[in-house]
Every structure is written in structure tokens, then in C-alpha cells.
């Protein structure tokens, strides 16, 4: 069973400690250096006591500490708003889901297919009107990430090459790199703040005062001259902080780029795709962005936008060489033709622990936070076979709402739901009527994948519009006087794929299953009694409990097994560490398939619990 996604998410959170260490070390070095410079300067006037005067040290430490803390917290708050903020800083423009531009439509299709194949919410896609070839992923977690590309990438890369680049960016999302990158940016901004203040004093404020007309009652020129000297000293000391910040940026990013390249090959089984994109950047185009924010955000990008000593990306030749060793035949042949040695190609393969398990429910868990060529092909085929009316509707606000109403609608008791939609959401009523038969033809997992496809259009409603839609959807769900697991699955999907985009800040993840035994048992018991005959309920439940190593082997009472208790249980379990969530999902899969069969409904249940736990699991694995 692959634990790559789960361990990566936990490790990404642990990286905060490493960043804090670098941060504190850089700040202390800046404080000590600046104190030494001021003490040396003052010793010429007040003597050796300047070195032992605690007021100088306290003033420097409080001043530097205050500036660095304020700047770091401000930048962290700015970047925690979501990937959209970083896209805007780089000059990105959101591509609307309804675009008819051929290049933009192809890009959105690739992103949608990969999201459906991985279970990650379809991210907003941004385009930067820049002729270079570059891309980025940004966001605090998989549910609030965005992807951006340059116009040069869309215009100059083939579909396979674009897919390779996008797969690389999905790897960053899966492995928590986007969260680490945001925190790294905030830390670097804080450390560099002192040097920037010194530069402003030296280059602007000091000279402006020094040029003013002096006199007995106007000490401005003397103050200006002192500020120039002081600013130069602060800038010189702050440059050490800038150097330290660049070292952090390089140390955090370079190895992760190699890993993302390798992951892109694993996901697509096409090393020539990403290798071809890198070769075009090296040989014909540039990765350099014109955006003023490119320097600050360089470690977010697919290819470096800077030529510096402390590069955040490995050399492109080295990246291509490694990809050629994974089987990038076309690029290796082109390099050989120009005199570069061509490594012997070998077929790219995933580690045995990362191959798709054969049991359907466990396969869904094993595919969490990754991509497989089989699931990408499945998603591509599914999207291609969707009726055009459904595809078009999923990209529009009214159509997306209508699709969700229809998924929640009970075909055997539809009159009340039809009347509710007509009276409460008349804008969606026409699409609701025309799409009813098309939605009904989709399987249960197909309907959930359709809701995934509609999520960006629902997110574009904004909080007020989305709240009105959810109120109507709730009425439609209750119109048949019951809420079943299919409707609960839709609710969990919307919570993860849409509503988490409206939430700021990642949720804490530090608990264990052992600390929440009652909640875990409720989830397993509801799956057991819902999916099996009474004769196997207890056995199914015990299989899941045994996998978790829990002691409560007796099924909870019927009064405990309600959708309200299920909602509360998964809410609390979502505070567990990601490696614990993997164990819980494995237990859910074992419980669901205790009778030896694997149905769409059973995979749907596992997927719904995964949504509640904020774990990306594809909906189409059982189709």
C-alpha cells in the first residue's frame, strides 16, 4: 500500500520546524551583526562601554525582532489566503471554465482529467501573458490549490508536454510542496526585511534629507548624512539575511524538483512529455518571467526564472539527463545528435509499493494523492463520452447547480424536488429539466465525478451565492423525508471540493485513531450495516476494527448509527494525522468489502469518508 501522499502531508507539516530553525538562526545572526556594527560605531564616541551597554543590545534585538516578526506574519497571512493570491502576484488571469479559446480549453481539459483521476478538487487555472515557458502550483493544501501557466507554454508545447508539466505541478500539490513554498516565502521576506529597510535609508531617505538646505535650526542635512551611513551599515548586515534567505530557498526547493520530475514520469508513463518541455526551455525558449514577483516566488515555478548562484532549481541539463535515464528516448536522441552522450533508456516503472492494488476498495485508498496512467485514461475516456450538454452544463453556474439538484433528487419521489427547484432557483430550472435523464443515466460514481467537474463553477458563485445554492440543495435532499448515503456522499464532496476554498488556514492534524476510538467505530459500523446483510454486519465491522487494533468489537447500538453521528465522527477524525487517516480508510475498505464483492456503492462510501478526511481519492476507480 502506498503511503506516499499520507507521509508527505505529515512531513510537509513537520518541515515547519525546519523552517523555524533556519528562520531563528538567520534572525539571530542579523541581530548580533547589527549590534556589533552599532557598538563599534558608538565606541568611537562613548568609549568601550558601548560594548557592554545593555540598552544598545536590547534596542537592536527588539527593533530587528519586531520588524522581522511583523513582516513574516503579514506575508504568511497574505499567502495563506490561497493559491489565488500567488497567481495574482505573478500577473495571472483566471481562465473561466466556459472559455472557448482552443489553447485554454485544451489546458483545462488536461487539468480536469487529472483532477478526476486523482480525486483532487479541480483547481482554478491561471494564465500569465508571458512568452516564456513556465508554470507553477500554489496553495496551502490540495483543496485550495491553483495551477498557473504562461501563454508561451500553451502556444509552444504539445499536449503530451503540457500534460507532463501539469503532472509535475500535481506532484507538488500531492506532496505538500506548495504549503512549504508559501511558508518559505514568508520566512525569507522576514529575514530580508532588515536589509530592505537599510537600503531605503541609504538610497532614498538619507539622500533626500542630506540635500535639504542646512542651517542653525535645520539639522536635516546632518541627520541625512548619518542616515546614509547608518542605512549602509544596516543594508550590509541585512545582506547577510538576504544571503541566508536565498540559501533557505535553494535548500528547500532543488531536491523537490527532481522528485516532482520523477513523479510526473510515474503518473503519465511518458518521460518524453516533461523532458520535451524542459528541452524546449533550454534550447529555444526561456523560463524567465517578466513579473516583478518572479524573484520572490521563483521556488514556486516549474523552471527557474533567475540565473543566480543559489538557484532554486537543478540545472535543466541535469533534469533532462535523469529523465533520459527513465526512458525519455526522443530527448536523449536529440542530445546524442548534437554530441551529448545519450544514456541507455529504460522503461519507467513505479515502485512495487506504489502500484495499483487489485482489490477495488483498497485500490481507491492506494491511489490517494497520486496519479496512474490507468486512472488518467479512465478519466479521459469518461470525459470524452459525456454528452456535450452535460459537459457544457458542468462549466456553467446554472448547469452546475442543476446537476447537483438532480444527483440529490429521488427518482421515485421527484415531484416535491421539481417544485422546489422551480420556485427557489428558477435560473437553474431549465437546465434541471433538460438534464434530468442524462444525469440519471450516470452510475453513482459517475454522478460524483460529475459533481467534481462542476465544483469550479459552484465555487465561482462566491460565499453568498453558494450559501443560497446549498440551502436549496438541502431542501431537495429532505424532500423525500430522508437523507441516504448517496446524498451524504454529495455533501462531503461539495464540502471538500468547494467549501474548503472559502476557509482560511489549514486544519490541525495531530490526533491518533486510538484517541478517537468511538468515532472510528461509528464510521465502520455505519458502513457495515449499510453495505451488508444482517448476517455479515458484525463480521464486517470486526474486520475493520481489527485492522485499526481497537478493542470495541461489539457493534454500536442502532441509536448511535445516524447520519448526524457519522458527520460528527468524521469531523473529529479529520483532525488525525494523515498516516492515521490512511489506516482508517483501509479499515473502511475492508469493512465495505467483507462479503468479498466490490461494487460502485462500496467504493463510493470509501471515497465519501476520504472526502470528509480531506484525502484525495478518485471516484471512477470502480466504473
Catalytically active residues are: 169
The CA distance from 112 to 123, in Å, is 8
Find out whether 356 and 363 touch, Cβ atoms under 8 Å.
yes
- Under 8 Å between Cβ of 621 and 367: yes
The three cell numbers of residue 514 are: 486510538
Instruction: Please give the grid coordinates belonging to residue 317.
Output: 541539463
Which residues on adjacent β-strands are paired with residue 448? none
The set of cell numbers assigned to 459 is 465555487
Q: Is the dihedral of CA 339, 344, 349, 350 positive or negative?
A: negative
Per-residue cell: 384: 470524452
Cα–chain-centroid distance for residue 528?
Answer: 33
> Are 117 and 378 contacting, i.e. CB atoms less than 8 angstroms apart?
yes
| Cβ 401 vs Cβ 462: under 8 Å | no
DSSP tag of 182: H
User: Residue 559 is placed in which grid cell?
Assistant: 441509536
Give the separation between CA 309 and CA 98, rounded to whole angstroms.
Answer: 43
Per-residue cell: 183: 511558508
Q: Quick one: which of 199, 149, 147 has its CA closest to 174?
A: 147
Residue 352 sits at φ, ψ, to 5 deg, of -55, -35
Give the count of alpha carbons within 13 A of 226, CB side only: 8
Instruction: Name residue, grid cell 457519522.
Output: 566
Helix (H) or strand (E) holding 376: helix 373-385
Contact assessment for residue 71 and residue 103, using Cβ atoms and an 8 Å cutoff: no
Q: Which SS3 state, helix, strand or coil, does residue 233 take?
A: helix
C-alpha cell at 461: 458563485
* Widest distance between CA atoms in the chain: 100
- DSSP-assigned beta bridge partners for residue 150: 128
Q: What is the Cα–Cα distance from 408 to 519, expressed in whole angstroms?
A: 26
Task: Please check whether residue 28 is in contact with residue 240, taking contact to mean a CB–CB distance below 8 angstroms.
Answer: no
How many helices and strands, by DSSP H and E, does the chain display?
A: 26, 4
Helices (H), 409-516: 415-424, 426-440, 444-459, 462-478, 485-497
Amino acid at each position: 500500500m502506498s503511503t506516499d501522499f499520507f507521509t508527505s502531508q505529515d512531513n510537509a507539516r513537520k518541515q515547519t520546524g525546519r523552517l523555524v530553525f533556519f528562520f531563528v538562526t538567520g534572525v539571530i545572526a542579523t541581530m548580533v551583526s547589527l549590534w556589533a556594527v552599532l557598538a563599534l560605531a558608538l565606541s568611537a564616541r562613548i568609549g568601550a562601554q558601548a560594548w557592554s551597554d545593555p540598552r544598545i543590545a536590547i534596542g537592536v534585538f527588539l527593533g530587528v525582532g519586531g520588524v522581522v516578526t511583523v513582516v513574516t506574519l503579514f506575508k504568511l497571512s497574505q499567502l495563506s489566503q490561497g493559491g489565488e493570491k500567488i497567481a495574482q502576484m505573478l500577473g495571472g488571469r483566471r481562465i473561466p471554465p466556459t472559455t472557448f479559446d482552443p489553447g485554454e480549453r485544451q489546458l483545462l481539459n488536461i487539468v480536469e482529467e487529472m483532477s478526476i483521476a486523482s480525486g483532487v478538487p479541480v483547481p482554478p487555472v491561471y494564465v500569465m501573458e508571458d512568452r516564456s515557458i513556465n508554470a507553477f502550483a500554489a496553495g496551502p493544501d490540495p483543496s485550495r490549490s491553483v495551477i498557473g501557466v504562461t501563454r508561451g507554454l500553451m502556444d509552444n508545447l504539445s499536449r503530451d508536454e503540457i500534460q507532463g508539466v501539469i503532472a509535475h505541478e500535481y506532484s507538488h500539490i500531492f506532496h505538500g510542496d506548495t504549503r512549504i513554498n508559501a511558508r518559505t516565502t514568508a520566512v525569507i521576506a522576514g529575514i530580508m526585511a532588515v536589509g530592505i529597510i537599510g537600503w531605503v535609508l541609504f538610497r532614498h531617505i538619507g539622500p533626500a534629507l542630506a540635500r535639504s538646505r542646512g542651517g542653525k535650526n535645520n539639522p536635516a542635512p546632518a541627520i541625512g548624512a548619518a542616515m546614509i551611513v547608518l542605512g549602509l551599515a544596516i543594508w550590509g548586515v541585512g545582506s547577510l539575511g538576504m544571503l541566508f534567505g536565498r540559501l533557505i530557498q535553494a535548500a528547500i526547493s532543488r531536491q523537490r524538483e527532481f522528485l516532482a520530475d520523477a513523479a510526473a514520469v510515474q503518473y503519465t508513463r511518458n518521460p518524453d512529455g516533461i523532458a520535451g518541455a524542459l528541452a524546449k526551455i533550454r534550447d529555444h525558449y526561456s523560463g524567465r518571467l517578466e513579473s516583478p514577483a518572479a524573484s520572490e516566488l521563483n521556488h514556486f515555478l516549474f523552471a527557474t526564472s533567475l540565473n543566480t548562484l543559489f538557484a532554486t532549481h537543478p540545472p535543466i541539463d541535469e533534469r533532462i539527463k535523469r529523465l533520459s535515464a527513465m526512458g525519455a528516448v526522443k530527448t536523449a536522441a536529440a542530445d546524442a545528435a548534437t554530441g551529448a552522450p545519450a544514456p541507455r533508456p529504460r522503461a519507467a516503472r513505479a515502485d512495487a509499493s506504489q502500484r495499483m492494488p487489485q482489490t477495488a476498495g483498497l485500490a481507491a485508498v492506494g491511489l490517494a494523492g497520486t496519479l496512474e496512467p490507468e486512472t488518467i485514461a479512465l478519466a479521459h475516456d469518461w470525459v470524452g463520452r459525456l454528452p456535450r450538454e452535460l459537459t457544457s452544463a458542468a462549466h456553467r453556474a446554472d448547469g452546475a447547480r442543476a446537476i447537483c439538484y438532480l444527483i440529490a433528487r429521488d427518482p421515485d419521489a421527484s415531484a416535491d424536488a421539481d417544485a422546489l427547484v422551480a420556485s427557489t432557483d428558477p435560473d437553474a430550472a431549465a437546465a434541471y429539466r433538460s438534464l434530468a435523464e442524462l444525469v440519471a443515466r450516470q452510475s453513482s460514481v459517475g454522478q460524483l465525478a460529475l459533481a467534481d467537474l462542476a465544483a469550479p463553477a459552484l465555487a465561482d458563485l462566491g460565499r453568498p451565492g453558494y450559501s443560497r445554492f446549498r440551502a436549496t440543495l438541502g431542501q431537495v435532499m429532505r424532500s423525500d423525508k430522508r437523507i441516504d448515503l448517496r446524498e451524504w456522499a454529495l455533501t462531503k464532496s461539495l464540502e471538500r471540493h468547494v467549501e474548503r476554498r472559502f476557509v482560511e488556514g489549514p486544519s490541525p492534524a495531530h490526533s491518533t485513531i486510538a484517541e478517537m476510538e468511538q468515532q472510528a467505530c461509528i464510521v465502520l459500523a455505519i458502513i457495515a450495516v449499510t453495505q451488508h446483510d444482517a448476517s455479515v454486519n458484525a463480521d464486517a465491522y470486526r474486520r475493520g476494527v481489527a485492522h485499526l487494533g481497537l478493542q470495541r468489537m461489539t457493534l454500536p447500538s442502532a441509536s448511535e448509527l445516524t447520519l448526524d453521528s457519522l458527520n460528527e465522527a468524521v469531523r473529529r477524525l479529520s483532525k488525525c494525522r494523515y498516516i492515521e487517516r490512511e489506516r482508517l480508510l483501509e479499515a473502511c475498505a475492508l469493512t465495505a468489502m467483507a462479503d468479498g464483492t466490490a461494487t460502485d456503492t462500496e467504493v463510493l462510501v470509501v471515497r465519501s469518508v476520504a472526502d470528509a478526511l480531506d484525502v484525495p481519492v478518485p471516484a471512477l476507480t470502480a466504473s
